[in-house]
Amino acid sequence: MGQFIAVLLGAASLIYAACAPAQTWPAKPVRFVLSVGSGTSPDVIGRVLTDQLSKKLGQQFLIDNVTGGQGLIASQNVARAAPDGYTYLYGGVGLVTDKLLFKNISYDPERDFTPVAMIYETGTFTIAVNPGLPVKSIPELTALAKANPGKYSYGFFAVGGPALWGPWLTHVAGIDMLGVPYKAPAQLLQDVVGGRLDMVLGSYTAVESMTKAGKLRVIGISSPQRIPTLPEVQSIAETLPGFFIGGTGVLVAPTGTPNEIIRRLNREIDPLVRDPAYVQRLNAGGTTINGAGTPESIAVYLKDLRELYGRIVRELKVQPE
């Protein structure tokens, strides 16, 4: 009997040890590391969520913008961080494209990160043109570009996966346009408004204010269907059936982070990303969310996304840098 009780006590202590980190967590500020700068669409969305988490859990949750290195620096920093539940990567499509686009990276997204929660599922990209460009739809843009190969230019934010969507669009549409990468979204928008470029390929959040001011005109969106915010704007898929490409926001932890902390953070985030005000705010910018998911469902989601971008990279014959 004494031996049996000792075994029970030992098992209980193991269970307590496994659960203890989650019970005392968070005991200090928690960082969500993001590879793009302040004011970008992912940054704005992330700060809404971290503000709510801070209020809910009584500890500071913050967005840590670690830019540069085409998004790799942020990922590398988190992959090397202590797996203690206080540092996470708020990643995008780079979670599936980094291995496709870069030869020598010091981390493996599949090996070094564990899924935690969805922050948003699909972020819609838009094609916004200078109002002086004589097009108001994707068919008109396609016809104009085909009649003038190489004449027109588009700017894009050159970090990871988003850099693929311009080449993918021109490939699928069979048109020839010059793509110009930018590190600073503000400069990109200024150059399109100023007429130095013909159009910008970027999130609706990025172009919204200038669109409402009449300085840009949105003529197409990358989501499979039209969005409530822009009901008159065509989905690219209406002209190019099956076309889809978009952003995403996924929270991942360094591999080895205690499972109980991952599960707890997932449970804390889920009601926040289901809140009608949060969903409405995302939907207004063409972004969708359907709850935080589970670590297992997110792993499947990332696998599917990896297959999509793998096909895009193969068809575009992109060579890793």
pLDDT tens by residue, the chain, 321 residues: 555 454 444 444 444 444 556 789 999 999 999 998 888 889 999 999 999 999 999 999 999 999 988 889 999 999 999 999 999 999 999 999 999 988 888 899 999 999 999 999 888 889 999 999 999 999 999 999 999 999 999 998 765 566 888 999 999 999 999 999 887 778 999 999 999 999 999 888 889 899 999 999 999 998 888 888 888 999 999 999 988 888 899 999 999 999 999 999 999 999 999 999 999 988 887 888 999 999 999 999 999 999 999 999 999 998 888
Q: Which CATH superfamily is domain 2-122+247-316 in?
A: Bordetella uptake gene, domain 1 (3.40.190.150)
**8 A C-beta contact, residue 23 and residue 57:** no
pLDDT of residue 13: 45
- The pLDDT of residue 119 is 97
Look at residue 92 in the predicted model and tell me its pLDDT: 92
Domain boundaries, the chain: 2-122+247-316, 125-239
In whole angstroms, give the CA distance from residue 299 to residue 314: 22
Closest CA to 205 of 274, 138, 290, 120: 120
- Spatial strand order of the sheet with 125-129 comes to 178-182, 153-157, 199-203, 125-129, 217-221
| Rounded Cα distance, 68 and 36, in Å | 8
What's the pLDDT score for residue 69?
A: 87
pLDDT for 283 equals: 86
CATH numeric code, 125-239: 3.40.190.10
DSSP class of 275: S
C-alpha 43/C-alpha 24 separation (Å) is 28
User: What pLDDT sits at residue 151?
Assistant: 97
The rounded Cα 198 to chain-centroid distance in angstroms is 25
Please tell me if the domain spanning 2-122+247-316 has the same topology as the one spanning 125-239: yes
Length of the chain: 321
